[in-house]
Structure 1
Amino acid sequence: MKKIFLVTVLSVLLCGHNSLYAASVIKKVAPSFWWASMNNPELQVLLYGEQISSADVSISSDDIVLQEVVKQDNPNYLLLYLNTSEAAPQTFDICLKQGKKQTVIPYELKQRRADAAQIEGFNSSDVLYLIMPDRFANGDASNDVIPGMLEDRVDRNDSFARHGGDFKGIEQHLDYIADLGVTSVWLNPIQENDMQGGSYHGYAITDYYQADRRFGSNEEFRTLVEQAHSKGLKIVMDMIFNHCGSENYLFKDMPSKDWFNFKGNYVQTTFKTATQSDPYASDYEKKIAVDGWFTQSMPDFNQRNRHVATYLIQSSIWWIEYAGINGIRQDTHPYADFDMMARWCKAVNDEYPRFNIVGETWLGNNVLISYWQKNSPLAHPRNSYLPTVMDFPLMDHMNKAFDEETTDGYGGLSRLHEYLSQDIVFADPMHLLTFLDNHDTSRFYRSEADTKNLDRYKQALAFLLTTRGIPQIYYGTEILMAADKANGDGLLRCDFPGGWQNDTHNYFDAANRTALQNEAFSYLKKLLQWRKGNEVIAKGKLKHFSPRQGVYAYERKHGDQSVVVFLNGTDREQTIDLSAYQEILPRTSARNVLEGKEVEIGKELTLSHRGVCVLSF
């Protein structure tokens, strides 16, 4: 059953009363606890219960100030704003008095961890491994179906249904993930999605403070984070502020109609979020794009409502403080209110200066996504305060570049050279999330039937892991999982073979993988392990040359160390004259990273068709 707060009759002497009366049933207290000594001392506590708005509110604490009691149109809500600036860790009582009826809600301010504010976010030294929890591994079959939840079945033959993956399944494979060489795990949403169907993906949240119990409890999620940290892995949590699920109690029994756009009535977004940066966009088009709903089952929050904004901001800070996550990926970032999202980014950074947030900025070119990055001159005098944006345009270029034959100045790898040469539009190119694919796109690897595909795969991963930015790998990339978006999103999110006890194949184990899969796995692992802790790649400046004879060359340099990469973008063996590249070839010998040996640098370099050469000086 859903977890609700049943506030029983207690001794109410602490509230200044000396009688006992029947208590109200409080269904929600959000958040259910908080912490003392936060940088922002203001705390919003949302109370949800039958006809509670008429209550007189008091608190039993001597060092917490009840600043404001806000009633909503719906009598089932009260919003309390508390000032905790002088408060020590404690448990105090929130007291509601309605005539002779009195309700006491014990509330705890916890002691913060000493290093809580110093959580280390993900950055360009990291590689993120993206997992959809329902589709990775099932470690606890007992939570596959939770009585009372609306979607009450597991069917692995239905790509739209839940499959049973959970926190335990991920935890049981943390060694596999760490051994691969990635340093961070980005989880698609783990919060409750108590919806009628399609809840597996997690993007229709019905309780912002509750992990989906089919993945596990809040405590089990925190344990997963702790276990990941013990293995040197960071955790990035997917969040959604633009919209929630239609079964969310905040929508089903709205505090007031202005909690949602268009007063809670469905109006479809146009998905044309470039209107936010368009200097010529009409007010009408801006409103429909930003205030319109993503789908009818995902009502759009009115983030201009200060109570909504505070509720969402606090929910993210609660998860950071509670679970110790290292980053947030914010879904549909440009669909939300610019000013509110900027306020959120700043609030998180004020509490956790080393934390990182990446926004999903699915826009068509680098100018449009650069607008959303912190300190962008294109948005000035506005500032999004969003540290990292997703480089979707580069993904598009990579999905074409490694297919095409590269000619000098056109097509193939020339696409990458030309795109990167425009990085001047970004406030911070190193804070771009780079990727070949994710849970919303066709997988980069196609099929074993395409004989050129492994060469394409190897070149693309070498580029992804050596160019600027923060790389992300989609789970299953290492074992050549393939899927086309044209066949439906569910198939893009296939189960990892071996994550379920009755699976025919267990690809977590090298002994069960094909020779081709093991070749791909070993190649990616070699690159990832080499990249880990490599400051040249994490911090180095980028210098590149326009492709010659179809070969793209570039350098990453940090201090007196450098890495030089040569990519042959043709289907022919190429022998290139190295005289033009002397400025990035500081010595006559280097370590060939992929071959694992020292090599002499002569006057020429020969590359096989679609070949890759990574030299470390």
Structure 2
Amino acid sequence: MAKSIQDPEILSTINTKPPTKRYHPSPLAWEDQLLYFLLPDRFSDDNEKNYKDIENRPVTSGSTPLFQQGQDNGNAIRTDADAAQWRAKGGVFVGGKLKGLKSKLGYLQRLGVTALWIGPIFKQVAKLETYHGYGVQDFLDVDSRFGTREELRDLVATAHEHGIYVLLDIILNHSGNVFEYIATDPHYTGDTFPVKGFYDENREADIPLGTVDAHTYPNAFPNAAIWPSELQGAECFTRKGQINGNGWDNAPEYLDGDFFDLKDLALGASNPDHFSATPALRALAACYKYWINYADLDGYRIDTVKHMGDGPTRYFASVIHEYAARLGKDKFLLIGEITGSRAFETVEATGLDAALGIGDVQEKLWRVPKGQANPSDYFNLFRNALFLNKGSHTWFRDRVVTMIDDHDQVWRGGDKGRYCSDGDGAELVLAALALNLLTLGIPCIYYGTEQAFDGQGGSDRYIREAMFGGAFGAFRSKGRHFFDEANPVFAGTAGIATVRAAEIALRRGRQYLREISGDGVHFGLPSRIGDGPLRSVIAWSRLFADEEVLCAISTDAKQVLSVWVTVDAEVHPAGTELALLYSSADGGVATEVPQKIAVEARSGRSTVKLTVPPGGVLVYK
């Protein structure tokens, strides 16, 4: 294990000139891909049985059986003591492994996933339960609770063999909780607080801040202080104390303050003009170059970009893009998690490739299929012309990553739960996934959404259930896994993903929300009346060259809905036909979905009549 970026193995890996091996090339277009985000501790421990392996063969040798709806719900909370234990387990490591993730690549491939976004896997601070991975102590090693560096490299290679790109979640803004202040509870005032010392392997703050003396502290590596050693200088930390409750949007507090007890790293001035990288930023850039080369990675998702500032972000994006290009990865993807109102501006100013659309985009994507917002609220977030409405949340097909659920749900404040946690979410989740996958942006599925996880509980831990069950399984269960390819949401999502992969218009086409009519005479965009939910068909077209693909979902979970929908008059004049590409209608729904529909002239426009099952999805071309 390396203690420094000057370690010969680290330097020789980073400084390969010219490259001595062939690296996995970037995709032609990232908007062609379907991302899947998971936390490695919560995905798979490789002990499941009754699932299918990467070659689609049954696996019966594991010890954890498949979850059975009805009989296994709530099996972990049948007594108050059991319920308390289940809740407690949600706040600690529960045992997911990189080898478990590798064993489920077939499951992901058959879902339609073409790119994995893996939560942080780097070594966490010893003796702390930062199962989520965001409390890094050593940026040059994999946490042993997840596996080894070699297992990471093997996972990436296997994913590449099966047509799946791999992105790692990385952190630059902060380290884990690696030192202790002298003050008991320091919060940001603008002043620099004195530091008692780095924590040692027993969580005693008795190692002076600065390069650790190996003779005085022979046990410091690997479970004390911070590594690599280039990050140990006092100048590598801002030492300003925690961001206050009302300071998350106050500059420079949100740039220099600690992210709760995670220690803020000093990356340099926010202003990108005449920027000079700090020692900490240079060391982190070297670490992340190493991982690109060592593991043959395809991209990074960068955590808490808002708290880094534009200067450090631009520097990092530049050096990483240049380094990856030298390895033949010309479109190495950098996704920034950017909360607040400056997402597009940050992408534009820094050279990031895309923003994680966790603000308005995610909220509208969540609310529209539930009928809680007008469809135009979501579709108006996107524009098809490069400079149209530049200052008003303008997004394009490859500049934003869109998803319904995630592990933070910042926009929901303190009332957290997955899409299926309230209302008709469980009946409408496939419609929501269709809206996600078949509209502009790089779509991403959060692990478990394809199994209709509900995440009920109100806080972060409950939206981070374990797919492999263990002591903290979904639906208040334990000891049951959820790799169920017969689940109708999984099957429906896989079908939608197949159509998306086959139709370039659904990946790269322009996008238009369509007017509808109940009588074929009076047309308009569907919209809510009063405060009640909108129960309607939402239809939109994706156009690419001379092709139009028409998509529709229903926000009514109970009734079949039939409406007339407008289509492009030049591509589809009256008398032409559209053929069915996908329908969610299945057993239990008495809905006759025609294989072909005729285009008719009504009220001076080209129209087709759609009949959509409850909470259903249709795609025609």
User: For 1:122 and 1:556, how far apart are their aligned partners in 2?
Assistant: 17
**Residue 252 of structure 1: how far off its partner (Å):** 11
Answering whether residue 573 of structure 2 is matched by residue 599 of structure 1, we say no
Matches within 5 A, 1:294-333: 294-304=259-269, 306-333=278-305
Give 5+ residue unaligned stretches, structure 2.
49-84, 179-223, 270-276, 410-415, 516-523, 527-535, 585-592, 601-607
Corresponding residue number in structure 2 for 1:139: 46
Q: Is 1:532 paired with 2:507?
A: no
What is the match of residue 539 of structure 2? 553
Alignment partner, residue 402 of structure 2: 434
Aligned residue number for residue 334 of structure 2: 357
Asked whether the equivalents of residues 437 and 473 of structure 1 are also in contact (C-alpha less than 8 Å), the reply is yes
Higher strand share: 1
User: Which residue of the partner structure matches residue 375 of structure 2?
Assistant: 413
1:468 aligns with 2:440: yes
- Give distance in 1, aligned partners of 2:615 and 2:462: 31
Task: Report the alpha carbon displacement of residue 440 of structure 1 after superposing the two structures with TM.
Answer: 1.1
Name which of structure 1's ranges 464-473 and 525-534 shifts more when overlaid on structure 2: 525-534
Report the secondary structure of 1:213's partner residue. coil
User: Paired residue for 2:201?
Assistant: none
Distance in 2, matches of 1:574 and 1:222, equals: 50
8 Å CA contact 2:134–2:171 kept in 1: the answer is: yes
- Offset at residue 602 of structure 1 (A): 4.4
Structure 1 pair 194–129 and aligned structure 2 pair: CA distance change class (3 A)? same
Deviations 1:157-206 (A, max 9, x none): 51111111111110111111111111111111000002432221100110
Q: Which amino acid aligns with 2:361?
A: L
Q: Secondary structure at the match of 2:347?
A: coil
CA contact (8 A) 2:267 2:312 kept: no
SS in 2 for 1:591: strand
Which of the pair has the greater relative contact order for Cα pairs under 8 Å at 6+ separation?
2
Are 1:456 and 2:428 matched, yes or no? yes
Amino acid at match of 1:130: F
How far residue 395 of structure 1 moved from its aligned partner, in angstroms, is 0.7
| SS of residue paired to 2:514 | strand
* Maintained 8 Å contact 1:531/1:537: yes
Say whether the 8 Å CA contact 2:256–2:264 is kept in structure 1.
no
Partner of 2:31: 124
1:488-567 equivalences in 2 (<5 Å): 488-497=459-468, 504-510=479-485, 518-545=487-514, 548-549=525-526, 550-567=536-553
SS of residue in 2 equivalent to 1:589: strand
Equivalence for 1:112: 19
Report the number of matched residues.
475
**How far does residue 335 in structure 1 lie from its aligned partner after superposition?**
0.3
In structure 1, the partner of 2:352 is 386
Instruction: Check whether the contact 2:397–2:442 (CA below 8 A) recurs between aligned residues.
Output: no
Partners of 2:88 and 2:316 lie apart in 1 by 40
Alignment of 1:122-521 (within 5 A): 123-139=30-46, 158-247=89-178, 249-250=225-226, 255-261=232-238, 264-268=239-243, 285-304=250-269, 306-351=278-323, 352=325, 353-363=330-340, 365=341, 368-374=342-348, 383-392=349-358, 393-404=360-371, 411-420=373-382, 424-425=389-390, 426=394, 428-441=396-409, 442-447=416-421, 450=423, 452-484=424-456, 486=458, 488-497=459-468, 504-510=479-485, 518-521=487-490
Give CA deviations for 1:237-294 in whole Å, capped at 9, x if unaligned.
0000000012363489864322111xx35242667565xxxxxxxxxx4111211110
**Aligned residues with identical type, % of pairs:** 21
Give the counterpart of 1:588 among 573, 577, 591: 577
Paired with 2:127 and 2:29, the residues of 1 have a C-alpha distance of 35
Assess if the C-alpha contact under 8 Å between 1:31 and 1:209 holds in 2: no
Q: Structure 1 residues 420, 439: closer, same or farther in 2, change over 3 A?
A: same
TM-score, scaled to structure 1: 0.69
TM-score (normalised: structure 2): 0.69
Structure 2 residue aligned with 1:76: none
In structure 2, relative to structure 1, the CA distance for the partners of 1:421 and 1:231 (3 Å cut) is closer
Residue 543 of structure 1 aligns with an amino acid whose one-letter code is: Y
Hey, what's the Cα distance between the residues in 2 that align with 1:237 and 1:30? Answer: 23
Measured after TM superposition, the shift of residue 213 of structure 1 is 1.1
Contact 1:140–1:166 at 8 Å: present in 2 too?
no
1:33 aligns with 2:18: no
1:396 and 1:612 map into 2 onto residues whose CA distance is 21
Partner of 2:519: none
Greater Rg by CA? 1
